[in-house]
Amino acid sequence: MPSRRRPPEPTPTLLASAARHGQGALPPPPLADRMRPRALDEIVGQAHLLGPGTLVARAIVGDRVPSMILWGPPGSGKTTLAHVVSRATRSTFVPFSAVLGGVPELRQIIAQARERRDYQGIGTILFVDEIHRFNKAQQDAFLPHVEAGVITLIGATTENPSFSVNAAVLSRCKVFRLEPLGESSLVELLGRALEDRERGLGSKDVHAEPDVLKLIAASADGDARRALGLLDGAVALLSEGEHELGRDLVERAAEERTLLYDKTGEEHYNVVSALIKSMRGSDPDAAIYWLMRMVDAGDDPLFLLRRLMIFASEDVGNADPRALSVAVAADQAFRRMGMPEGIYPMAHACLYLACCPKSNAVKRAWQAARQAIGEHGTLPVPKKLRNPVTALMREEGYGAGYRYAHDYEGGFVVGETYLPDEITDARFYEPTEQGLEKQIGERLARLFPGKR
């Protein structure tokens, strides 16, 4: 994999040249970067990890940081915690991005770490941001160096490590889960940013009522970076000489925000799981909520419609055979309409499926049939059921004894069997008492009194 080098830092000469050509100085760093905590006691939230006496807090204070994976949503403090470690440790702290850096650069870092350990007695902490971006083979490159003590690995990921991190790497690291920041933690952080004159917005003398800060916190979905960015954007909308930050400016700044949602990661599967379970639980309010969460977050509508069609057979089935027709019709209508009007048939199907009687008898039937096939193998088709299309087949007895159901009263042959002789009494489909399946079950009981 070729190395993707970071662009060189601008030199004073380059900056001066840019200024002479009217480009001006570089803009200040984002508020979230300026307000990044420098010490353990500046971090808000994550008390379960960083409170007094916790394993992580003791490790940082005692400079005994183990290899670890920091797992949490965006803005929960993974990189911040790594920066705090970098200030607290006597080891050399080396940040590395799995997005911007390549394997050749990583090998160079490892070689320098080994030299630093062998000749200077200094350890190296390697912080790999977005470690899930490395494939499993690339992650294997860490293993011998972690085991040999050449590096202490700290990886940060928004993905579930059990899915995204090599099991061998995972077994050599402690996994610490960071939670989205709560409202009180975000409000505290926002208030600190408004007051801090060195790194924050204190020099602007901006004031915001608690309800305004709570509005920002609610809009941030537990993401500190987003909360500070929204505050910075709202303050930038203040007119000259204005110092009171109101709800209207916050709402204007939040207009373009996106929902906290990773369309390919764990949260995607968490939300779609909530949608399916809500429909299965016959709760239309919860079902439409989760559906719109996914739509508003930009999920693929065709993926959602596919899930609705699967649900119609898996969880409704013959309790309401119309369910599949509604789901398929929604898929066809969406393909004709597109967005945004296509939301109507999608929501229509979601609500219908949530309100339907539920049955998983279809699923249980095909699973039971497949199990029987696995146990008995490919049993021969009874000769009476075979089609005698040639004279030889008729001589072999194909079709002999077959009784045509439509020749009998009610279109049913009493006592006839259609399964292989070895499993003639097997039952795979067990209708439930839900919806139309109750009637189906009653009819089958009348037709097969000794079997059902």
For the residues 323-339, what does the mean pLDDT come to? 90
* The most confident of 219-233, 246-260, 342-356, 402-416, by mean pLDDT: 342-356
Using pLDDT thresholds of 50, 70 and 90, give the confidence band for residue 133.
confident
% of the chain exceeding 90 in pLDDT: 22
pLDDT at residue 452, rounded to an integer:
60
Show the 3-state SS of 375-412: HHCCCCCCHHHCCCCCHHHHHCCCCCCCCCHHHCHHHC
Full set of structural domains in the chain with CATH: 35-177 (3.40.50.300), 183-253 (1.10.8.60), 266-355 (1.20.272.10), 375-447 (1.10.3710)
pLDDT-derived band of residue 193, with 50, 70 and 90 as boundaries? very high
Looking up tokens 């505290």, which residue turns up? 188
What are the pLDDT digits (tens) for 39-58?
888 888 888 888 888 888 88
433 alpha-carbon distance from chain centroid: 36
Angstrom distance (rounded) from CA 174 to CA 170: 7
pLDDT at 262 over 60: no
What number is the average pLDDT over the span 240-253?
84
Confidence at 161, pLDDT banded by 50, 70, 90: confident
The per-residue pLDDT for 385 is 84
What's the rounded Cα separation, in Å, for the pair 234 and 245? Answer: 8
pLDDT of residue 136: 74
pTM over 0.95, yes/no? no
The pLDDT of residue 62 is 86
293-327 confidence digits (pLDDT tens)? 888 777 788 889 999 999 999 999 999 999 999 99
Q: Tell me: pLDDT of 75 over 60.
A: yes
**Cβ atoms of residues 254 and 247 within 8 Å:** no
Q: Which range is least confidently modeled, 99-108, 195-204, 355-364?
A: 99-108
Q: Considering the chain, what percentage of its residues have pLDDT values greater than 70?
A: 90
Quickly state the pLDDT bin for 22 (edges 50, 70, 90): very low
pLDDT tens string 355-372: 999 999 999 999 999 898
DSSP assigned state of 135: -
Strand locations in 165-226 (E):
174-177, 207-208
The per-residue pLDDT for 2 is 39
DSSP codes of every residue in 328-374: HHHHHHHHHH-TTTTHHHHHHHHHHHHHS----HHHHHHHHHHHHHH
Give the least confident one: 30-44, 242-256, 333-347: 242-256
pLDDT band for position 256 (cuts 50, 70, 90): low
Amino acid at site 314: E
pLDDT at 10: 38
Q: Over 50: is that where the pLDDT of 7 sits?
A: no
Measured between alpha carbons, how far is residue 154 from residues 78, 146, 330, 375 in Å? Answer: 10, 10, 47, 49
Q: Rounded to an integer, what distance in angstroms lies between the CA atom of residue 418 and that of residue 441?
A: 19
Q: How many other CB atoms are there within 10 angstroms of residue 155's CB atom?
A: 30
- Name the average pLDDT for the chain: 83
Token digits of residue 414: 């009493």
Q: Pick the closest to residue 357 from 394, 319, 321, 327 (CA basis).
A: 319
CA 181, 186, 187, 192: dihedral to nearest 10 degrees? 140
Q: What is the pLDDT of residue 99?
A: 67
Question: What is the structure's pLDDT at 266?
Answer: 66
Between residues 18 and 157, which one has the greater pLDDT?
157
> What pLDDT score does 331 carry?
92
